Amino acid sequence: MQILSLIRNRFFQALTGWIDQPEEYASRVSIARDPQHGDYQANIAMPLQKTLNLPPREIANQLVSRLSIGDLCHEAEVAGPGFINLRLRDSFLAEQLAAAAQDSRLGVGCLPSRTFVIDYSAPNVAKPMHVGHIRSTVIGDALARILRFLGHQVITDNHLGDWGTQFGMIIYGYKHFVDPVAFHADPVVELSRLYRLVQSIIAYQNACPKLEKLEQGLNVARKQAAEAEAAAKVDSKQKKVAAAALKALRSAEDNLAAVEAIINGFQADPKNLTVAQQHPDLETQAQLETAKLHQGDAENLALWERFLPISIAEIESVYRRLDIHFDHTLGESFYHPLLSSTVQSLLDAKMAVESEGAICIFLEGFDAPMLIRKRDGAFLYATTDLATIEYRQREFQPDVILYVVDHRQSEHFQKLFAAARACGYTDIDLQHISFGTVLGPDGKPFKTRSGAVIGLEYLLDEAIQRAHQVVCDPQRMQKAGLEMSAEESQEVARVVGLGAIKYADLSHNRTSDYEFNTEKMVQLEGNTSAYIQYMYARIQSIIRKSGEQLDQDSIAHFAIQLTESAERSLALQLLQFEDALLQSLDEYYPSVLTTYLYTLAKQFASFFDQCHVLNADSEEVRRSRLAICFTTGRVLKQGLGLLGIGVVDRM
Ligand code: ARG
C-alpha cells in the first residue's frame, strides 16, 4: 500500500487544469511531522502564492474544495499560513490493514522491473579481511534484497581485488620469508603474516628517508611559531599569524611522530633491521613480482593460483556466516585478458590518445586525464573498470549499476563514469554508493592497540559472545520465564550478534563515519536490531499464548477494528512499509528502512503497553488485536529479512 502516492495522486487530480506542473506540487504532500496535525500534510499553497497572486489560505481553501479524497480522509483542514492537514479515516486504515494482513507481500506492490547490477564487497583478497569490508558487503546485500523484493531484476557481482599489488608482496614474501611448517599448518595465517611483514618493511624503508626532512621541517616550524608568538605579544594584529604558525607546528610534530612510530615499531625487533638491509628497496622488488605475474611468468602464476583459493576460502567462510551470496564473482583477474583489446578499441574510436608513451582518456571537467595504460605497458584499476562496464553491458544489459565502494574512491568513480559516458554508455545509470569509515573508540579508523587491523571473523565471534551475555543472561532468562537449551541460546546469540553487526552498520547514515562498538550494538534498548528482534519475539509469545493458529489465510477471520490511538498509530505505521521501502531506494539509503523498523517496534511497544490483547474487553477486540500483533510480526520479520537480519521466536 503506497498511501503517500495515493494521496499525492488525488492532489495531482485536483491541481490539474488549475496550475502548471501539477505533479511537482502534488509531490509536496508528505507524512506529517507532528501527529497532532494529522497523518499527512501538504505544503502547496504557500509556494503558489506568487503564481496565483492570492493569499495562501485562500489558495489552500480552493484546493481543498477541488480535492476529492473523502473516501480516504476526514475533511481536510487548512492550518496556519496555508498548510493542508489530512487525517486518514479509521475505516480506511482498518480495511487496508486487513488486506495487507492477508497478502503474502504484506500489501507491498511490485515496481516495473529494471535490471540492476550491484558491485559490492569486492575485498582485495590475500590481505587480511577487516571491519572496513563489512560496510560494502552489508549495504550492497541489503540493497540487493530490497530491490529484488520490489520486483527488480538484480545481478550481484563481487568484483574481487584478486590481481593487485598485494600479490607481488605475498609472492616476494613467500619466496624469501616463508615458514614452510607454518604454511602447511595454516596457510591463511602464514600468508597474512608474510603480507604484513613485507608491508612493514616497505613502510619502514619509505619512512627512513623522510625522517631528516621532517626533523628540519619541525625545527623551522618551531622557530616560526616562537617568532610569531613574540610578534603577537607586541602587536595583537599578529595573533592570527601566530595561531596559524602554532597549527603548522602541531602538524609538523604529528607528521614526524607518525614516521617515528613506524620506524621505532619496526626497529623494536632487532632482527627486522637485518632483514630490511638484506632486502633493499623492497617496494620495487614487490612491484616487479606483480609485473611478472601480469606478464604471465610461470612461477608467479603458479604461486598466485595456489594462494588465491586459500584466501577466497577465508572470505567465503565470512560470507557463509553472514548469509551473503553472489550471482557472480568476477574479480579483476577475470578481466585481465580483455584489457588490451579494451584499450585498443578506445584508441581506434579515438576516445583514448597516446601521451608521452602512456594511453589516456581526456575528460571534460577534470584536470588530469584518466590513465588506462602506463608507459611500461601496465594496465590500471580504471582500465579494468572500463572493461568491466563493457562486459556487463554485453552480458546483462543493465539499466543501473551500483558501485558500493568506500568514499575515498569517489574521484575514481567520477572519472570512470565520465569516461563511460564519453565512450557511449549513456543508457546505463552509473551510481557510486559511497560510504564512510568504520571508526574505533578513539575516533580513528578501527584498529587494535598494536596497530594491526582486527580480523573480521574475530569480530563476528565477539558480537555473538556479547549478544549471549546480554540476551541469554540467566537472570534475565529466568525473569522472562524462558528456559533454553544451550543449543537454543547459542542460536539466539548467533542471530542477535550477527544481526547487530549488520544493523549497526546499516542504521548509520551510510555517508557518515561510525564507531564500531560491539557492546553497544547488542543492547536490548535503543535503535538496535536486538530491540526489534525482541519485539518480534514478544509478539510470537503473545500469539503462542493465545492458542490461535494464525496465518495468512486464517487471519481473514480476525476482523480488524481501530479504537485506541496507539492502535491507530501502529496501523498507520504498518501501512507505510511500502513507502519506507521505496524511500530507502530514492538515494539508496538502507537507514531509511532501519528507522522505519525501529519506529514500528517502538509503536508496537506503546500499543502493547496501552492496549490489552489477550484479556481485551471483548472477543472482537481480542481477535482484532491479535491480527494487529500478527501483522506487525510479519512486517518486522520481512523488514529485517530485507536487511539480511534474522529473527527468533523466543528471546
Ligand atoms: N577492490 C577494491 C577495493 O577494495 C574495490 C572494488 C570496487 N569495485 C569496482 N568495480 N571498482 O578498494
The residue contributing the CA closest to ligand 1 atom 8 is 159
Output the pLDDT for position 452. Answer: 52
Output the pLDDT for position 450. Answer: 46
Residues 171, 174, 179, CA angle at the centre, nearest 5°?
A: 165
Distance 93 CA to ligand 1 centre (A): 46
Residue 447 falls in which region: left (phi positive, over 0), alpha (psi -120 to 50) or beta: beta
Output the pLDDT for position 143. Answer: 98
Distance 323 CA to ligand 1 centre (A): 21
- Closest by alpha carbon to 377, among 409, 336, 414, 422? 336
Output the pLDDT for position 453. Answer: 53
Ligand 1, CB cutoff 6 Å, lining residues: 119, 122-124, 159, 161, 385, 388, 403, 405
Distance 136 CA to ligand 1 centre (A): 10
- The segments of the chain whose pLDDT lies below 50 read 449-451
Strand order in the sheet with 40-42: 29-31, 40-42, 83-86, 77-79
| Alpha helices by DSSP H, 295-367 | 298-322, 332-335, 339-348
Distance 123 CA to ligand 1 centre (A): 7
Which of 157, 159, 413 has most ligand 1 atoms within 8 Å of CB, for mutation?
159
How far is Cα 606 from Cα 600, in angstroms, rounded to an integer? 10
Distance 595 CA to ligand 1 centre (A): 29
Distance 378 CA to ligand 1 centre (A): 18
CA 385 to ligand 1: nearest atom: 10
| Residues in a beta bridge with 30 | 41
The residue contributing the CA closest to ligand 1 atom 6 is 122
Which of 118, 383, 405 has most ligand 1 atoms within 8 Å of CB, for mutation?
405
| Alpha helices by DSSP H, 397-547 | 410-422, 456-471, 474-479, 486-507, 518-521, 529-546
How far is Cα 78 from Cα 84, in angstroms, rounded to an integer? 5
How far is Cα 163 from Cα 333, in angstroms, rounded to an integer? 5
